[in-house]
Chains A and B, each alone.
Chain A
Amino acid sequence: MTGEHAAALTVVEPGALTTVQDDGRIGLARLGIGRSGACDRRSFDLANRLVGNEPGAAGLEVTYGGLRLRAERDVVLALTGARCPDVPHNAVFGLPSGSTLRLRPPVAGLRTYVAVRGGVVVPEVLGSRSTDIMAALGPPVLRAGDELPVGAAPGRFPDVDVAPVADPASGDLVVRVVPGPRDTWLTDEAWDALLHEGYEVTSESNRVGIRLAGPVLQRATEDELPSEGMARGALQVPSSGQPVLFLADHPVTGGYPVAAYVHDDDVDRCAQLCPSQRVFFRLAAGLRRPGPEGGPDRAG
């Protein structure tokens, strides 16, 4: 906590995993540092908009509820993403000085975003306040007793008080994919499985990626792939044949083939999946089925 902004919020209880997140670190791939940032960008952006913050102001990403936050002065908050019972959701509200906000485990979704008007202004690390779990960069994971400084209220006022946004899906989720750079590395049978069978979210999932369990995706080739750049939304297929969907803290490069990319908006939806939910992948409209014999036309 710096002397500049007195602590406005105290973490009474952090819950299973609560981290500070913003838009992440952009442009540091040459240092092997990935972007990180909020996993569900749409919910994070909405929370900031609801409290009238500048886009990208840092807030909290709360995984599976459990957070208890005490206001040390009057603050203005908004909660988006995974809906926790008995607290205002997708709406701006005031938390008076001395009051405690308590987030119970969500009834829909996994990650709840807490925006505070003025933003959480913990010190930046390499230009961002995001906690990158994989690279171990950024503010430490929140613990009981942590004091969070909040910035000055921005000049603008919130322009929306309630956002009628649908809750995250609680059952099976259908997700759009496009063929990835190594789509020819899977057999036809593997593509059949990927596009027709459900893949279950396992509890080994985290901010790095969602580990999925389902029919094994067979490789069409024995080649080794030299490490290459990877991006958020990549559906990577390791030798186990069990795909991994990359989220915010994915590594900058990887040596396993990426067979497909999940549509950007659907990555936000996937960031709300809980273990045991199932994902069904569908080819985005108008695309030809990829496979070892020939994929989409390549620029030569």
Chain B
Amino acid sequence: MTRQASPRFTALPCGSAALLLELDTLDDVLALYTALADSPPKGVLDLVPAAKTLMLHLDASVTDPAAVERAVREVSPRSEDRSTGDLLEIPVVYDGEDLEEVGELTGWGVRGVVERHGAEEWTVAFCGFAPGFGYMVGASHAWSVPRRSTPRTKVPPGAVGLAGEFAGVYPRESPGGWQLIGHTELAMFDLDRDPPALLMPGTRVRFVDAGRGT
């Protein structure tokens, strides 16, 4: 029988009702997340994957962080293609306030940014920040856009943004530090829809130029 590799992580303390695991790469996070989502250890209420970490929310009346950590070490991470079948097209008008600056920061120019953004196959790695907000990673792994040094107090709903290796769409008005390159009219989160969020881990996304860009 071949031994599966144990997951490599550092367990960081978060009190009695949560545990934060720090891993090396986003791929490692998602491989462990996929395995745990399939069969969560006893007492694990929820999983929160992020860029370099995986948080587990625990029911402190039935388990404790040490027991959960031991259980996680026994799990075999699943390195598989995490994109689900669904491809979502998001129409974008490329009129964002930071589009020119992103053109300069990347060296691609405005036109280059718009073309690459639309040509890219994006996959939602994880969600967070607000209902319906998904952090998307591009298959080319070519994106690395610094956040704004001063976040905006108000980002309009539907704003399409970039930060680091991620693309995102703000589901509603909120503060935000991402570079805004456009906007979409698509409702990213709608309670009358099932499921209410368009973006969930694994959703594949392609942005479609919907009108006059610059």
Q: Does A14 contact B (CB under 8 A)?
A: no
With A26-B45, A233-B17, A253-B48 as contacts: A33 and B53 at CB distance below 8 Å? no
A227 to B92, CA, bound (A): 25
Report whether A31 and B12 are in contact in the complex, using a CB–CB cutoff of 8 Å: no
Report whether B129 and A32 are in contact in the complex, using a CB–CB cutoff of 8 Å: yes
How many chain B residues have a CB neighbour from A under 8 Å? 42
Report whether A31 and B53 are in contact in the complex, using a CB–CB cutoff of 8 Å: no
A63 to B17, CA, bound (A): 26
Q: Does B159 contact A (CB under 8 A)?
A: no
List residues of A (117-172) whose CB comes within 8 Å of B's CBs.
125-126, 135-137
Q: Does A3 contact B (CB under 8 A)?
A: no
Give the A-B contact count at a CB cut-off of 8 A. 125
Which residues of chain A come closer than 8 Å to B126, judged between CB atoms?
Answer: 30
Q: Does B133 contact A (CB under 8 A)?
A: yes
List residues of B (7-47) whose CB comes within 8 Å of A's CBs.
10-18, 20, 22, 45-47
Binding stretch for chain A, among B74-82, B105-113, B192-200, B204-212: B192-200
Q: Does B201 contact A (CB under 8 A)?
A: yes
Say what secondary structure dominates the interface of chain A. Answer: loop
Q: Does A178 contact B (CB under 8 A)?
A: yes
- Please name the residue on chain A nearest to B44 by beta carbon: A27
Q: Does A226 contact B (CB under 8 A)?
A: yes
Report whether B17 and A232 are in contact in the complex, using a CB–CB cutoff of 8 Å: yes
14 pairs from A and B in contact (CB 8 Å cutoff): A27-B46, A29-B128, A30-B126, A31-B132, A32-B134, A181-B13, A181-B14, A181-B22, A226-B164, A232-B17, A261-B14, A261-B15, A263-B16, A300-B10
Binding site for B on A (CB under 8 A): 26-33, 35, 125-126, 135-137, 178-182, 224, 226-234, 251-253, 258, 261-264, 296, 298-300
Binding site for A on B (CB under 8 A): 10-18, 20, 22, 45-48, 50-55, 57, 60, 69, 126-134, 147, 164, 172, 191, 195-197, 200-201
